[in-house]
Structure 1
């Protein structure tokens, strides 16, 4: 009796509390088929010792207590017939706590040890529900159908579990058609209107999945007919489901407007306006009323939706609208907001992130174009035009400041008007009346001096206010206090003396140095050129590309090296648009005005782009081969030349990366880092730009410029250094072979040799693999003694780590000083 009326009773109450708590904590995603049974999301690293929900933990403790303290197992027989119920409670608590293996143990214990129990069928049902959660879907489905076919007397509550579980398995396997019938049976049998409405709503969703809108609407209507019995969520989403299925068009705008207005004005729908506005926006987007769609997506967001997925849909749809309108900068902001509301592990998040990254270059160059346009427009204005321009700007600032000043003064006046201090009013029994307070001070309204002072202070602050309602906010002053007016004017005068209100402050900032202006003009030209290329190549927005290239050619100060590539890109963009007139115009323009250019050659002989020895890929291959062979003389200049020639080709980042590597090899860490940073900045989305960023990240370990002590170092090199003018690389290779042959004769075959480029002045011949500084110096003396090396050759021993610092930061002179 104690087990039944105390432990199991309270344990089942805890289970019900836990289920209700899970329903409240688990938001539904109405953009997908709802789950038949709601479960808490599992944390990334859950602890089996800490329950997901305290109520399920309490239920498990109750069940454990019932088994441990009230079991009467004697002589192979259990005399307490409530213990099997305790095991069932134990398994259900573990099931909802999502510890499925221990839950299976509890259900199996009932099946194996209580074969005559009244609840053995229920234990088998819950065992199969657990198998479903463990992804043994086919096994669970077959067992549940077997239970239905072999048991004629199954309680209604158990039938509900069977049918709902079969439906859940079929939905999980995406057999939506097969899930409808068992779910309808479950919804008819279940007693609570929460599940009845939920499962009927899911049935409607399943009909939508198989394309049967009429049956879906019938089930949505059934949910609506439940009225206020279930939670209102299902009713509202059913109304929206019917609306979507009717597929209204532009000609139905009057009905649609009336329909949504009624829902909007219904006070009971105030918590669902975020979804309502979203569906309204979806309707307008479908009929191509994008401005209204934007308006209602914004209204949905202003309702601050609790559903992160709904927020992500609002932001994503706005991003797509602006992307289609070629407003890429605005679209980028909305894509950012979309990603903050999406699970980062999803495929959709990765796709949106990739699309967003493609906008980085557009946003960057659009910002540069806007900023430089503004500056150069001001540069081209005369003094009078500049003054007029900035006077308008400062007048607007003054109006804003006046408004703010008036608001501050108003708040100060409110703050200064304090309620009268009426301490102890009517509380002093010894006063013989009401003329003094507890401290013996005379009450305000009986003190003529205080009344007179108060009136004077009030008049000073407020002036002569009309006797009217709401006088503090709306009352008008009959007369104004002259002192206060004068004070306010003085205060305003002090504010407007600030340099920010003086047009000359801004005029003085306009650049006048010709070199600086040329630099800004060059930056603008490059930005417009890059925008044209990006719009044409990456987004296939040929009209936008043409607009940018035409604007570039119209600039008074345009980088000369961009003019011809811009014309060639105009030719390609018009060809993409199949505008033959403009294609011919730009083709003839290039051939006539730039007859000796490579572009003219390509237009006259298109095969030359592929077959020419100076095609981008062949040129790059030649230069890279030279770099590998350390043939660096003139290589940097060659990289720069071909970079300028191939500005319009996809090979440009490759040439820039090669140039950065040559720069690092010749001039060291600082120049190398600067070249990589510029590449990563100019081409962040290319493979080479990302490689540059990786190299920059790896450089953090190479920042050290301080040579290390030779103590405890066991890897050394012997370095012979030669001036380039006296010893070209070909002679250094001969010296290397000479030393190698000498080492072989001296039985030092293990020593490796190499020729290393240092800079424009010196190059090295190195001996690697030496063990100590003293041994390295001894090796140098040995080579001189055996006439392998010449005595006049300059050399120094250096550890492997110090050699890396010397090469990376080009610190030969400093190292030689400390030797």
Structure 2
């Protein structure tokens, strides 16, 4: 019977006030140690995983909170979903336990780590309202410590608690008002006392100065400039400060709220109460994380209100206030308000409880001082980093920055700073950081105006064995920018190519770098064409003997280069602007001996010391050797024949292969000149239209004019020169080219554009006339006057240019007229012609729709599938979306693949509850496919799509099947089912979604 009563007392359906002491203890114990404890353990493991995933880039401003800056949060989404599930059970089974509010806090934290900011805001918003504290209704006198103490109570309980009357709420308001008035009076009293003390000290200094006595400074930390931190907690620096724990360098302790029960003491203002023996409400922590989430949602005003309240409220717990100071700095950093963020970073460093956390705040403050061109203050901040005794990476970064700022503050010279860094690079302990030190030297050299030395240091940083992806990105980017500034566009494009190989696509600079690379692609292609064709043309005009001698030299050079490459290191290949950065990046983290460049260099030196400078060759291929040095070594004088030159046995076939592309006859040389003329013309257009460099565009067109006169590009190139000289302000030169156009090409549109101001209006009128003619033809069709419509079409097409946009409309209208006059066959034939001839046009889309209604298919375009040109799909990101996984193997086992897909979803998208359905599609049901439902909009489907790309090692990798992942809206999915084909959707998806 007693057991049954105990079970009844522990029933989770009872209200809080109906539960006894034993029931409350049972719920609290199970909630804490079964669900919440395990969820916290999962969260800790997740933070360690994120810490390993994030790598600090000391060449840029550090992330204040690295756990919010990871590139691939989906990698831990599965574990975070597990944590959410565990605390969800806590809330469901123990809704009135003391750990319910902590469970909601953990859910919000997990959603924030997943970068699901919208869900995190909803969760934390609910928790802030649901678990707000209320003044404890004690019997003590109003305003006493007992009545000021707070306790947790759910909103639902308040709503159903009959004892909570209006009189109690008014009393609580009056108590709070009295507390505020006492606080204001106390602050005013303290301010007056401080003012009197300052006045007394000022008068004492005046009296002492008159007597010739200099009093020591009496400034205290409280008297220093802390304008931005008027209400922050004052920290007293003890002479013998206790040794702080080091703490993690990446995921700083601000995330964890463990030990919060012990953190109640030391609060600003009145003691909020001791929680050593009872559970502390999580309301303040929930508000703090809500402010964090609002910052990520760009709701800065509301976040500011919460943070100010947490920092200024006398009842805020000390640990929450410490975190709120750091989050306030984060808010200003997100708004790019650097000067306002610095005081809060310095204050957060003062109250931090771990060495790495303290050093990180001070380090970022130093970086902000650097950005604000305050090198003296930056040095002080980096000294604070070193004084905190953090991890060596932070200490080394601080020392590097101190060397960089020393000469800027006037306390040294660039040469001294570089010498200090060179000394640091030579130390054994800094061998793994050599590239970082070299990059810092490059920055000093460039800031002092020595671009040659700066570029050399950057190349050394790239060739350093310690060069990681972060340094490579910065060095390649900087070298590309330098080459771009120097108008060396070919080299700049190559460096940007290398930059994009190692730069993460999530980097904020990726779009700009990619755009500049694309901007220079045409220029570099034409420059390479000009260099190659010029060389071939010059060799082609040489006499046969000199050409043959050149081919033999090329053969020898290739053989020597091939031998050297077999044993070359990245350092010897560093002169090339583009390296296989991705391979190097992979090799850097390998223990394979061939990837250790230092070991290779040592082995090479030992070999040379013992055996001399021998050629690198395979001994077991002697049967294929043809040169005379087969059985001799360099220096064997007895084998040399006096008066004879070394003979190289180059076969005729090898010479012919080398000379295969060299133009030796007049026709080939003329073709090469035509190719050069086209390259110069395209280069001039790229310089003007893509790069915007007027001077180089003029040079390219003038070179074309001088070297290749009379080409088909001449009238257009002269018109470009006319425009370019006008843009450059050279009116006389522009007039010259206008006159030349009038004299030689007077009937062309270029001559008329340069000489006839009214020609542009005439062209506009002519275009308007063509449109009116089309409208007349279409009106005749609408009025069912099909013969007249055909006459209009035939008359207009005869004078319409070949590439004019109206041709597609006329051909579609002609097909429709043919259908009315000649029947179905002519109609279908005309529509199929439009589909095949006018790719990716509205007319093609319309023609295909008509063919589908007629039950006909478009004829296949060569090289494309029938459905490849389907443009009936429509973009609708707000619509419900599915994700299709289309498999290449027609015999794919969909049931097994579905299990693999479910495993992936359980790991990365467990909370989304996605369902997949196997189907077959195609005329003969030959294409297997999994349809995964469903996503609220296109952005959610794209997020899942990117997740499969980033975690491809877990997505159906074990199956070995080839597949495509394609997000699709409901409307477009119906189109696919209607056509019974997936053909063409992949191309449409890449054009409209990616």
TM superposition score normalised by structure 1: 0.57
For the pair 1:237 / 2:397, whether they are aligned, the reply is yes
For the pair 1:524 / 2:676, whether they are aligned, the reply is yes
- Output aligned runs, 1:116-265, within 5 Å: 118=275, 123-135=282-294, 138-139=301-302, 141-143=304-306, 145-147=308-310, 149-151=312-314, 156-208=318-370, 212-226=374-388, 229-243=389-403, 245=405, 248=408, 252-265=413-426
| Residues 337/242 of structure 1: CA separation in 2 closer, same or farther (3 Å cut) | same
Aligned-partner Cα distance in 2 for 1:175–1:519: 61
8 Å Cα contact 1:336/1:356 also seen in 2: yes
Report the CA distance between 1:223 and its aligned residue.
0.9
Report the CA distance between 1:128 and its aligned residue.
1.3
| Residues 161/275 of structure 1: CA separation in 2 closer, same or farther (3 Å cut) | same
For the pair 1:315 / 2:467, whether they are aligned, the reply is no
Number of the residue aligned with 1:370 = 531
For the pair 1:333 / 2:494, whether they are aligned, the reply is yes
Give the one of 8, 23, 26 matched to 2:54: 26
Q: Describe the superposition over 1:128-150 as per-residue Cα deviations: whole angstroms up to 9, x where unpaired.
A: 12211331655555455445555
Aligned-partner Cα distance in 2 for 1:694–1:268: 66
Aligned-partner Cα distance in 2 for 1:285–1:601: 50
Report the CA distance between 1:365 and its aligned residue.
2.9
Aligned-partner Cα distance in 1 for 2:133–2:373: 42
| Residues 280/519 of structure 1: CA separation in 2 closer, same or farther (3 Å cut) | same
Aligned-partner Cα distance in 2 for 1:186–1:13: 27
| Residues 636/303 of structure 1: CA separation in 2 closer, same or farther (3 Å cut) | farther
Aligned-partner Cα distance in 2 for 1:326–1:213: 32
For the pair 1:542 / 2:694, whether they are aligned, the reply is yes
Number of the residue aligned with 1:427 = none
Tell me how large the CA RMSD over aligned residues is.
5.7
Aligned-partner Cα distance in 2 for 1:169–1:404: 53
Secondary structure at the aligned position of 1:361 is classed as helix
Number of the residue aligned with 2:860 = 703
Give the one of 75, 100, 109 matched to 1:95: 109
Report the CA distance between 1:279 and its aligned residue.
3.3
Secondary structure at the aligned position of 2:487 is classed as coil
Report the CA distance between 1:27 and its aligned residue.
2.5
Q: Describe the superposition over 1:563-600 as per-residue Cα deviations: whole angstroms up to 9, x where unpaired.
A: 34434444544555556775676566556666777766
Give the one of 39, 53, 57 matched to 2:67: 39
In the alignment, structure 1 segments of 5+ residues that lack a partner are 77-82, 408-468, 478-482, 641-653, 678-687, 707-819
8 Å Cα contact 2:627/2:649 also seen in 1: no
Aligned-partner Cα distance in 2 for 1:475–1:138: 74
8 Å Cα contact 1:398/1:496 also seen in 2: no
Secondary structure at the aligned position of 2:79 is classed as coil
Aligned-partner Cα distance in 2 for 1:406–1:334: 25
8 Å Cα contact 2:811/2:830 also seen in 1: yes
- Output aligned runs, 1:277-292, within 5 Å: 277-292=438-453
Report the CA distance between 1:529 and its aligned residue.
1.7
Number of the residue aligned with 1:562 = 713
Q: Describe the superposition over 1:693-727 as per-residue Cα deviations: whole angstroms up to 9, x where unpaired.
A: 999x9999642699xxxxxxxxxxxxxxxxxxxxx
Number of the residue aligned with 1:51 = 79
Aligned-partner Cα distance in 2 for 1:489–1:346: 52
8 Å Cα contact 1:274/1:299 also seen in 2: yes
Report the CA distance between 1:38 and its aligned residue.
3.4
Report the CA distance between 1:274 and its aligned residue.
3.7
| Residues 370/126 of structure 1: CA separation in 2 closer, same or farther (3 Å cut) | same
Secondary structure at the aligned position of 1:51 is classed as helix
Number of the residue aligned with 1:607 = 757
8 Å Cα contact 1:163/1:185 also seen in 2: yes
Q: Describe the superposition over 1:7-52 as per-residue Cα deviations: whole angstroms up to 9, x where unpaired.
A: 7999877766654554343223556654444325578895998324
Aligned-partner Cα distance in 2 for 1:596–1:610: 15
| Residues 578/485 of structure 1: CA separation in 2 closer, same or farther (3 Å cut) | closer
- Output aligned runs, 1:690-769, within 5 Å: 702-703=859-860
In the alignment, structure 2 segments of 5+ residues that lack a partner are 1-24, 115-119, 135-150, 154-272, 569-604, 614-618, 631-646, 778-791, 816-828, 852-856, 864-994
| Residues 672/528 of structure 1: CA separation in 2 closer, same or farther (3 Å cut) | farther
8 Å Cα contact 2:753/2:760 also seen in 1: no
| Residues 214/371 of structure 1: CA separation in 2 closer, same or farther (3 Å cut) | closer
8 Å Cα contact 1:277/1:296 also seen in 2: yes
Aligned-partner Cα distance in 2 for 1:486–1:176: 69
| Residues 310/157 of structure 1: CA separation in 2 closer, same or farther (3 Å cut) | same
Secondary structure at the aligned position of 1:39 is classed as helix
| Residues 582/284 of structure 1: CA separation in 2 closer, same or farther (3 Å cut) | farther
Aligned-partner Cα distance in 1 for 2:606–2:152: 80
Secondary structure at the aligned position of 2:346 is classed as helix
Aligned-partner Cα distance in 1 for 2:370–2:554: 57
Report the CA distance between 1:126 and its aligned residue.
0.9
Greater CA drift, 527-536 or 583-592:
583-592
Report the CA distance between 1:193 and its aligned residue.
0.3
Which is higher, the Rg of structure 1 or of structure 2? 1
Q: Describe the superposition over 1:168-197 as per-residue Cα deviations: whole angstroms up to 9, x where unpaired.
A: 344445554554444433322222101111
Aligned-partner Cα distance in 2 for 1:632–1:287: 72
Aligned-partner Cα distance in 2 for 1:405–1:348: 36
8 Å Cα contact 1:18/1:53 also seen in 2: no
Aligned-partner Cα distance in 1 for 2:321–2:760: 74
Q: Describe the superposition over 1:754-785 as per-residue Cα deviations: whole angstroms up to 9, x where unpaired.
A: xxxxxxxxxxxxxxxxxxxxxxxxxxxxxxxx
Q: Describe the superposition over 1:262-306 as per-residue Cα deviations: whole angstroms up to 9, x where unpaired.
A: 232233333444433333333444444333333333333345888
Q: Describe the superposition over 1:341-396 as per-residue Cα deviations: whole angstroms up to 9, x where unpaired.
A: 55656774444444333333323333433343344334433323322332322232
Secondary structure at the aligned position of 2:480 is classed as helix
| Residues 635/277 of structure 1: CA separation in 2 closer, same or farther (3 Å cut) | farther
Secondary structure at the aligned position of 2:713 is classed as helix
Number of the residue aligned with 1:745 = none
Aligned-partner Cα distance in 2 for 1:403–1:345: 38
Q: Describe the superposition over 1:214-265 as per-residue Cα deviations: whole angstroms up to 9, x where unpaired.
A: 4333212211233xx3122322333344455557499944223313212322
Report the CA distance between 1:497 and its aligned residue.
6.8
| Residues 300/693 of structure 1: CA separation in 2 closer, same or farther (3 Å cut) | farther
| Residues 247/529 of structure 1: CA separation in 2 closer, same or farther (3 Å cut) | farther
Aligned-partner Cα distance in 2 for 1:37–1:266: 32
Give the one of 684, 703, 719 matched to 1:551: 703
| Residues 265/673 of structure 1: CA separation in 2 closer, same or farther (3 Å cut) | farther
Secondary structure at the aligned position of 2:691 is classed as coil
Q: Describe the superposition over 1:71-114 as per-residue Cα deviations: whole angstroms up to 9, x where unpaired.
A: 8x9xx9xxxxxx74696478458625648466777785595874
| Residues 159/384 of structure 1: CA separation in 2 closer, same or farther (3 Å cut) | same
- Output aligned runs, 1:638-657, within 5 Å: 639=801
Aligned-partner Cα distance in 1 for 2:125–2:719: 72
| Residues 170/561 of structure 1: CA separation in 2 closer, same or farther (3 Å cut) | closer
| Residues 216/704 of structure 1: CA separation in 2 closer, same or farther (3 Å cut) | closer
Secondary structure at the aligned position of 1:547 is classed as helix
| Residues 224/371 of structure 1: CA separation in 2 closer, same or farther (3 Å cut) | same
| Residues 214/296 of structure 1: CA separation in 2 closer, same or farther (3 Å cut) | same
